[in-house]
């Protein structure tokens, strides 16, 4: 009997945080990045390897970021992008993100770079018009998701990869806000990311919810309801780019 070994999917997670822009400082952005990093490193988040995670948190010119993103697009089969910090709507009413060093990159630019690739992008940032208001940020307990179990990590990664292999080229974008809104925050940070991680924990802990791989839409919709409630619908998260058949995997429940 010949055992066929699956070649691991070439993944890349890009974590981008910008806590400074126009004199406004967002102290929670670094916590956002660390919380999301710990989540994706855990079995629940797909058991990503450290070598598959790229953190872009140093100031550079826009060309530098374009070059890095283009290189990732060429070398990767699946890309996860997380952005926390300052953002706005461009003059074309397209979400625009202020990267470290004040380099502005629009959602359309990012889509163009990663065309014909399966991509999941999550942003916790404002999309204000016309003023720039304080962007979203979040920290959640770094002990929320388990780590350090090699068997569990292997099973989770294999399960996550299985979903990635059948994912067609698509760009799924989950935003903490609707156009024209600001990303709100509480004492612990931005409401959206906080509730997104809490939604994942709810799915993991609820014995009535079956084991398996959950796409980004499942925790997003749970988080959206919580965010809309706490902000009295002043902040309404949105998601698009997925289908009934396909959505990027985000959570593994073994």
C-alpha span between 84 and 126 (Å, rounded):
9
pLDDT tens-digit map of 20-30:
776 677 787 88
What's the token pair of residue 21? 């822009």
234, 192 Cβ separation under 8 angstroms: no
pLDDT tens-digit map of 140-178:
444 567 666 788 888 899 999 999 999 999 999 999 999
C-alpha span between 159 and 252 (Å, rounded):
8
pLDDT value of position 250: 96
Domains of the chain: 11-253 (3.40.50.1460)
What's the token pair of residue 237? 């998260």
pLDDT band at 3 (very low <50, low <70, confident <90, very high): low
C-alpha span between 228 and 223 (Å, rounded):
9
Asked if the bond preceding 130 is cis, omega within 30° of 0, the reply is yes
Residues pairing with 12 in the sheet: 79
Q: What is the C-alpha end-to-end distance of the chain, expressed in Å?
A: 28
């Amino acid at each position: 009997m010949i055992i066929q070994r699956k070649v691991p999917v070439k993944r890349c997670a890009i974590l981008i945080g910008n806590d400074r822009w126009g004199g406004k400082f967002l102290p929670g952005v670094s916590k956002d990045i660390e919380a999301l990093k710990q989540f994706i490193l855990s079995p629940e988040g797909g058991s990503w390897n450290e070598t598959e995670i790229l953190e872009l948190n140093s100031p550079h010119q826009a060309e530098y970021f374009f070059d890095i993103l283009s290189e990732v697009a060429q070398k990767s089969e699946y890309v996860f992008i997380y952005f926390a910090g300052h953002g706005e709507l461009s003059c074309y009413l397209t979400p625009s993100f202020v990267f470290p060093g004040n380099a502005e990159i629009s959602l359309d630019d990012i889509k163009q770079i990663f065309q014909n690739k399966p991509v999941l992008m999550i942003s916790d940032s404002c999309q204000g018009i016309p003023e720039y208001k304080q962007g979203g940020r979040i920290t959640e307990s770094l002990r929320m998701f388990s780590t350090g179990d090699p068997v569990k990590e292997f099973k989770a990664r294999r399960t996550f990869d299985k979903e990635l292999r059948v994912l067609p080229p698509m760009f799924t974008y989950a935003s903490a806000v609707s156009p024209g809104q600001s990303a709100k925050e509480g004492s612990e940070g931005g409401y959206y990311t906080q509730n997104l991680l809490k939604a994942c924990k709810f799915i993991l802990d609820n014995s009535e919810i079956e084991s398996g791989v959950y796409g980004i839409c499942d925790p997003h919709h749970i988080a959206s309801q919580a965010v809309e409630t706490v902000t009295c619908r002043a902040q309404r998260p949105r998601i698009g780019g997925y289908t009934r058949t396909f959505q990027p995997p985000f959570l593994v429940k073994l």
